[in-house]
Structure 1
């Protein structure tokens, strides 16, 4: 038994190596497509498995569960959902410019509906997949490698005849990198490949005469044409896409904005988000011209109808949709793929170069194999033709031989020992024979029916065809121009059979300019009742109903409609609400819960005070907590962009009791739960940042806490009832900060 060996190594080096190995495994074996066939391993394995199962385009559909299970068991042991998801996407014509799988059943919708479970759906290969992606697998044109458990063989790459990486695009997230390649038009890409084959030093600018830009299956308009050259040069950048909007006439003289094409990035759940965004524009009073929005999309295509008021500014509304929603969006291009076993970001010419080199490699292997087969056929055909001329002698050899081995040896070497011949001349002729082993075997297996005249003529014709094939294949292998012609001929066939018109238009469009209508500034009053329902009314309405408003509402704030409302809560939070987000209308309208227009949570926090932000900014705010922590904060600190922020820092188990605007040299009275009263000069409290805890304003006895606090202005004479007695707060003696005060 050998002794255990310990290998000492630096832990960080081991972790680094292990992580890099893992990252490369994810990059190469799962997340990124190969530049040669434009497929990720899961896609390649699924298509190959369908080919192996015989699920051709002209055969019946088979259950997706069968395909997924077979693929997972033989080639892709990474879970059934990843395989089924890949299968579904390859069948969705709204995600792929050239669908590779023919799906039968519910394979999801452009609006984001998921596909049915794999036990319900069926699939088979598309004709284009069979003819363009898998056609030459039987001709030994690509290497086959062992599967994960070395019980099966799978192709390292599929012999795809077109640059699938460009035609169908790709998306994938690896470790530390991601790929996002837009789809392109099949016919244009084939023209680009042919242009490269004719001129390998073609520039990106010249290539773009054939491939002007992406062609998304959802159509739309690419609006930054001038930026595409740099994107295709570097392999990264942003393509700006807009949906297509048409104007139609509706009932009653109203106009309709009809969206017939959407940006590719809106496919799925983002259509629902777009509808919600348009609804929000109306709710937030960004526009009053939209009456209704409906999604009338069907299998025939996208149709989202926005009904407008009569006399609406159509152009301005279109611009608003482009500016405020995802009707104009960007597609982040990152043309990253695995080339020569390594991830590489490539421009469009580089992708086509890799593809063309791959095509030459495929053609070389294909015609080398075909040439070898034709030469084998030639050898046998010439042997049979020669045998037909001396068939009587051959029959004599076969009849005179004791064993097949003896006859075969005679045919190959002329050895006649042990064979009975009718005459010495026959023996002499037999000794002249020198067929090859393959020819001798073919002669021995020859049927007598093949000796009739027509069959011999057919053999001669077949031999002539074989010689012609040998000459053709030799020419293709010896001359690159001949091979190029063959490749281009195949490309022309694919273009004629499967090419389609471009769906996405490409142009240089001006930057969208949308001018929001300036809101007319006016004085309003915010009313919040004790149930937390909030609304605004104009100043005149409030003045007419002042008594009722004061009696029915807990918080009343006068402000501008362009202002924000500050809500200070017992948890030390500040909630900022735009006044324009609050419902504005009649005095008796109920309003909306404050929770609906802010991040305030009525179940976990209580409102301490409410002010207009413009008022807060002009002054300072004094804060007092239950534990007596106190401070003054400059109001400008609360003018923030967030809807929710910390107004003050609280200790554990502490809560805010007071947040009050300071208007002058007031005094402050603390009132505790045990009826201790302390009056101090407000100037004794330091001015601090909103993130500070503060200082002790009152010294508390054990178990006591501040339950209330009062700001006194000069001339104020408020009364406080304690134990049935009235206490005048302005007559309390002014004491020092952090003292206990007096018992009442």
Structure 2
């Protein structure tokens, strides 16, 4: 019978989401502080060990490793397993690669690895000896796999602080980890020091660990920030690439980038090259004449060829400031400790590591001690049996089954056994071998009775007793066990440590002085389609007639100036002249909306002029609602790219005219219904740019100002209106806020 359980929906959602979040945090995204591995990495390495892909054996297909791992331990899709395998084989991502890859395993420039059916892999010797050794000695717990058909280690018996050596990155639910890699030798030195003195602080431990050691090298430039980062477990590390100066032919020099920030790995190298090209195109780095990427398997080599006499230091600073050649690595040392996520300081990482090593050593030597005790028991039984071998042979010959022999050897039971001598039976009743000793006696070969074999047995027993004493000493004395762990760490350092690659120093923040530009006069051209460009003044003079016919806005400006663009929605956009393409006369130019926030779909240009001229003049504004005002151009001299140039009466209002107030003696406003009003400019008051203005023409219902013109008193000015010529100078002179004269 079905039972309907009524419950609060929000409670179910909350519980389900928390369960999901914890599953992602613990079982997928975050490393365990003990072995520094995520579950997918741990399972992949363990499966490779089970498959026998040892460092001294042939490679195995990656597809086989991935399939076996997925089928036995990690049922989350083959791509996640293969991606983990690939990363563990990439020496430019890991401080100590854990997998030996054969085939295309990707490149530092972002090329992906080949499909798993083409690549092969096996364990690194370092992994096999430092990460997977002693798994047969019951040093870690084994837990059921996802379908409880296999057993997998809860954690690998890693003997170095892998979470520091190889770092880690991962995104969980509501949290993320980002731990940089460190130098193996330095990490081992810090671990040894901490084992010897657990009172060491984070700052004292930094005597051994100078800072991160990225496989790509580079320079950490905020050394003074590192103590705070390692104490709190979070912060930002600033890294720079290494740039060298090489001399070329004819006195030219080249900037050669030989090391890159760790964050530039992958597609960011291509982006860096594009950014440098952009600096050249924008004339910020005109001294760079060629960019070539000569990087290979031997290392990074990006060459920037320079013009003769180029300012090398300025260019270096420009690259650090404007590209990812100087970048930030965000540190968040989050890991699973004690079954829950925790942000760890350097000391806490080493504390967890030390506790784990003592646990591993305890379980290892308990197991070894147990084996030696069992071996000692057997050896003592055999030695004792040699002394009464004649009696044992008599028991064997007089017994009818192995059970009779075993009972006689262990408990002195002689029932059913035929003895040649009564004294033998009496001796047999005194036998008290253990079950293990009895089994060894029954399995003993007669060859063991040879004199040399007996000597070897006695010697082996002495060695066993010595081992037992040593193991008991290790297990019962903290300092002795610490010494064993330290000796082990020293041997690993001797075999596998490598020199530091990343330089740690303090460097001043880059202050990039803008170079003084050579000021030249240009001509700004904007056609009726909104394409803008600048040309040389001599080019304009030679093509003046064609330029005036083809372009709507034309004016002279300086290369260091800005252009002000006013639009019908009351906004003003500013564009640096140096950002406007400098072209040949017949080139098309660039759409203005590519250079500023102007939107061709929502606004229309009504005026454009150079800032140097605008800020020295007064501008007249006319809107569709008939309002007029004059604004001082100095109000528009701001450093923002877009500002509100005037206030409109309402959402339906728009700007009809913007122009220089001294461009005419009269203002003529034309309405949509055909009314023309001419009045003196002196009647227009000066207002702030935030003001609406005053009424310029009195409009009828549903009428609006359609156009406006600035008319000079002594010049004839004609326009065509509804197929007829209208002379604006001869219109009847009226007053501001008048209705005007209607033209049909």
Q: TM-score, normalised by structure 1?
A: 0.88
1:612 maps to which of 609, 612, 628: 609
Give the aligned partner of residue 325 of structure 1. Answer: 323
**Cα deviation digits, residues 157-188 of structure 1 (max 9, x gap):** 11110001111111122222222211111111
C-alpha change, 1:391 and 1:638, in structure 2 (3 Å) is farther
Q: d(CA) in 2 for partners of 1:502 and 1:59? A: 30
Aligned to 1:163: 161
Q: 1:604 Cα shift?
A: 5.6
**Which residue does 2:101 correspond to in 1?**
103
C-alpha distance in structure 1 between counterparts of 2:113 and 2:570, whole Å: 47
Question: Is it true that 1:402 corresponds to 2:400 in the alignment?
Answer: yes
Point out the more displaced range, 661-670 or 371-380: 661-670
- Per-residue CA distance 1:101-148 (angstroms, 9 max, x = gap): 111111111111111122221111111000001111111111122222
Picking from 424, 427, 437, the partner of 1:426 is: 424
CA distance in 1, matches of 2:127, 2:273: 37
User: What is the aligned partner in structure 2 of residue 592 from structure 1?
Assistant: 589
What CA deviation, in whole Å up to 9, does each residue of 1:430-471 have, x standing for no partner? 111111112112222223343333333333222222211111
- 1:268, distance to aligned residue in structure 2 (A): 1.4
Cα offset for 1:3? 4.8
How far 1:547 moved relative to its partner?
Answer: 3.1
Q: Which residue of 2 aligns with 1:448?
A: 446
Moved more, 46-55 or 632-641: 632-641
For residue 551 of structure 1, report the CA deviation from its aligned partner: 2.5
2:212 counterpart residue number: 214
Q: Equivalent residue for 2:6?
A: 6
Question: What's the CA shift string for 1:63-94, capped at 9, x where partnerless?
Answer: 22222222222222222222222211111111
Q: Structure 2 CA distance, aligned partners of 1:508 and 1:151?
A: 55
CA distance in 2, matches of 1:79, 1:666: 78
Taking the aligned partners of 1:608 and 1:289, their CA distance within structure 2 comes to 37
Paired residue for 1:39, among 34, 37, 40? 37
Distance 1:698 1:377, change over 3 A: farther
Q: Deviations over 1:531-588 (max 9, x none)?
A: 65533235565456533431243331333323333456789987643210123366x3
State the secondary structure of the residue aligned to 1:497.
helix
Which ranges of structure 2 fall in alignment gaps of 5 or more residues? none
Instruction: Work out whether residues 378 and 437 of structure 2, in 8 Å CA contact, stay in contact via their aligned partners in 1.
Output: yes
What is the deviation of 1:326? 1.9
**Contact 1:89/1:95 (<8 A) preserved:** yes
Question: Which of 140, 143, 165 pairs up with 2:141?
Answer: 143
For 1:260, what is the secondary structure of its paired residue? strand
Q: Which moved more, 1:714-723 or 1:82-91?
A: 714-723
Distance in 1 of aligned mates of 2:198 and 2:738: 86
SS of equivalent to 1:537 = strand
Corresponding residue for residue 184 of structure 2: 186
How far the C-alpha of 1:735 sits from its partner, in A, is 11
- Alpha-carbon distance, 1:215 to partner: 1.1
CA change 1:165–1:661 in 2 (3 A) is farther
Go from structure 1 to structure 2 and tell me whether the alpha carbon gap of 1:549 and 1:459 turns closer, same or farther (over 3 Å shift). Answer: same
Other-structure match for 1:724 = 723
Q: Does 1:274 align with 2:272?
A: yes
**Residue 505 of structure 2 aligns with which residue?**
507
Counterparts of 2:439 and 2:337 in 1: how far apart (Å)? Answer: 47
- State whether residues 696 and 738 of structure 1, in contact with CA within 8 Å, keep that contact through their aligned partners in structure 2: yes
Residue 63 of structure 1 corresponds to which residue in structure 2?
61
Alignment: residue pair count? 732
Deviation at 1:419, TM superposition (A): 1.5
Alpha-carbon contact 2:696-2:736 (below 8 Å) kept:
no
What is the rounded CA distance, in whole Å, between the counterparts of 2:622 and 2:435 in structure 1?
Answer: 106
Cα drift, residue 616 of structure 1 = 5.8
Structure 1 residues 131 and 649: CA distance shift in structure 2, 3 A? farther
Instruction: Measure, in 2, the Cα distance between the counterparts of 1:342 and 1:650.
Output: 62
Secondary structure of the structure 1 residue equivalent to 2:230? helix
Change in 2 beyond 3 A, CA 1:691/1:243: farther
Q: After superposing the two structures, state which structure 1 stretch, 157-166 or 643-652, moved more.
A: 643-652
In structure 2, C-alpha distance between the alignment counterparts of 1:557 and 1:33, rounded to whole Å: 64
In the other structure, the counterpart of 1:80 is: 78
Flag the 1:411–1:88 CA change in 2: closer, same or farther, 3 A. Answer: same
* 1:266 Cα offset (Å): 1.4
Take 2:448 and 2:411, find their aligned partners in 1: how far apart are those partners?
A: 25
- Measured in 2, the distance between the counterparts of 1:647 and 1:92 equals 60
Choose 348-357 or 360-369, whichever is displaced more.
348-357
> What does 1:565-644 correspond to in 2, within 5 Å?
565-567=563-565, 576-584=574-582, 588=585, 590=587, 592-594=589-591, 597-598=594-595, 608-612=605-609, 614=611, 622=621, 641-642=640-641
Q: Distance in 2 between matches of 1:619 and 1:358?
A: 79
CA change 1:352–1:737 in 2 (3 A) is farther
Partner of 1:24: 22
2:643 and 2:468 mapped to 1: Cα distance? 80
The verdict on how the C-alpha distance between 1:138 and 1:707 changes in structure 2, with shifts beyond 3 A counting, is: farther
Corresponding position: 1:560 with 2:547:
no
Corresponding residue for residue 235 of structure 1: 233
Shift of 1:387: 1.8
Q: Distance in 2 between matches of 1:345 and 1:321?
A: 34
CA distance in 2, matches of 1:370, 1:268: 47
Report the Cα distance in structure 1 between the residues aligned to 2:46 and 2:733, rounded to whole angstroms: 92
Task: Report the CA distance between 1:356 and its aligned residue.
Answer: 0.9
What does 1:198-597 correspond to in 2, within 5 Å? 198-529=196-527, 533-539=531-537, 542-543=540-541, 545-567=543-565, 576-584=574-582, 588=585, 590=587, 592-594=589-591, 597=594
Structure 1 distance, partners of 2:739, 2:156, is 85
| Inter-partner Cα distance in structure 2 for 1:728 and 1:257 | 66
Assess, with a 3 A threshold, how the Cα gap between structure 1 residues 12 and 566 changes in structure 2: closer, same or farther: farther
Looking at structure 2, the residues matched to 650 and 129 of structure 1 have their Cα atoms a distance apart, in angstroms, of 75
Query: 1:594·1:600 contact (CA, 8 Å) conserved in 2?
Result: no
Supply the distance in 2 between the matched residues of 1:732 and 1:115 (Cα, whole angstroms).
82
Q: Is the 8 A contact 2:645 2:690 kept in 1?
A: no
- Change in 2 beyond 3 A, CA 1:623/1:454: farther
Contact 2:677 2:738 in 1 (8 A): no
Q: SS at the partner of 1:554?
A: strand
1:709, distance to aligned residue in structure 2 (A): 2.5
Is the alpha carbon distance of 1:657 and 1:227 closer, same or farther for their aligned partners in structure 2, counting shifts above 3 Å?
closer
Deviation at 1:605, TM superposition (A): 7.2
| Structure 1 residues 632 and 373: alpha-carbon distance in aligned structure 2, compared to 1, 3 A threshold | farther
Residues 625-677 of structure 1, C-alpha deviations (whole Å, 9 max, x = no match): 7xx7989897857956458999999999x9978463463796564565xx755
Residues 572, 170 of structure 1: alpha-carbon distance in 2 compared, 3 angstrom cutoff: farther
Instruction: Verify the 8 A CA contact 1:401 1:420 in the aligned structure 2.
Output: yes
Q: Distance in 1 between matches of 2:587 and 2:309?
A: 32
Shift of 1:19: 3.4
After superposing the two structures, state which structure 1 stretch, 241-250 or 660-669, moved more.
660-669
Take 1:396 and 1:633, find their aligned partners in 2: how far apart are those partners? Answer: 132
Q: Displacement, 1:505?
A: 1.6
Q: Is the contact made by 1:383 and 1:435 (CA closer than 8 Å) also made in structure 2? A: yes
Cα offset, 1:308, TM superposition:
1.1
Matches of residues 688-707 of structure 1 in structure 2 within 5 Å? none
